[in-house]
Structure 1
Amino acid sequence: MKEEQSVISVISYHKTEKIIKYNQQKYVKTQHCLRLYKDRVQSASHQFDLENINDMSYRPFTDAGLLYLHTNQGVFAYEVNGDPDHFINSYKRLKCFIK
């Protein structure tokens, strides 16, 4: 377990899950936070060490956008409503010190 550190940047994201109950299909949208620390990025269900993240990118859409984490485990997409520039720029500044 990592020792507790200060959060450098936070961006909220939505996760949409399809649930089938009593032969009815519903979509449930929950809100979570993506947190950037000096050594990792942490979501509700994943933790990525900064050295294992190769890049971050963003693709805007009409009502939201997708923030992509390009990792050594694959690409992970997070649906964000706000502008992720601060989060991405904070990551890029940290990444310069790791290389």
Structure 2
Amino acid sequence: MESIAEQTYYKTERQVNSIEQVDIEHERKLYLYNDRIESKHRVFLLQEVLDISYRKLGGEGGLLYLHTNSGVFSYTVKTSPQPFIELCKNYMNRT
């Protein structure tokens, strides 16, 4: 099944050894389907998603929040996820 929409998010992995600390940024995607939202490691059924919101931080980007029955999950984004949020809310209202 092909996704309806995608939103890029970033996960920072910190690696520390005896000499240095290195931050590695991984680019990942959230995928919206007609019944769920998927990240790399989680699947959120739309019927379990209570809300989706965005908080801008600094000059560009911010945090995208998925409010679910299991808690709030945050995703770091570099651009406004407003189009993705609007599509998600449209599909959430259908369930």
Q: Distance in 2 between matches of 1:42 and 1:54?
A: 15
User: Segments of 4+ in structure 1 off by > 4 A?
Assistant: none
Report the alpha carbon displacement of residue 23 of structure 1 after superposing the two structures with TM. 4.8
The percent identity for this pair of structures is: 37
Q: Find 1:40's aligned residue among 36, 40, 49.
A: 36
Could you say what secondary structure the match of 2:40 adopts?
Answer: coil
1:81 corresponds in structure 2 to 78
Q: Find 1:11's aligned residue among 7, 18, 40.
A: 7
Letter in 2 for 1:68: Y
Could you say what secondary structure the match of 1:87 adopts?
Answer: helix
Report the alpha carbon displacement of residue 96 of structure 1 after superposing the two structures with TM. 1.2
2:69 corresponds in structure 1 to 72
Could you say what secondary structure the match of 1:51 adopts?
Answer: helix
2:56 corresponds in structure 1 to 60
Report the alpha carbon displacement of residue 6 of structure 1 after superposing the two structures with TM. 2.1
Report the alpha carbon displacement of residue 32 of structure 1 after superposing the two structures with TM. 0.3
Query: TM-score of the superposition, structure 1-length normalised?
Result: 0.88
The aligned length equals 94
Q: Which residues of structure 1 form unaligned runs of 5+?
A: none
Q: Distance in 2 between matches of 1:12 and 1:90?
A: 15
2:27 corresponds in structure 1 to 31
Report the alpha carbon displacement of residue 8 of structure 1 after superposing the two structures with TM. 0.9
Are 2:45 and 1:20 equivalent residues in the alignment? no
1:91 corresponds in structure 2 to 88
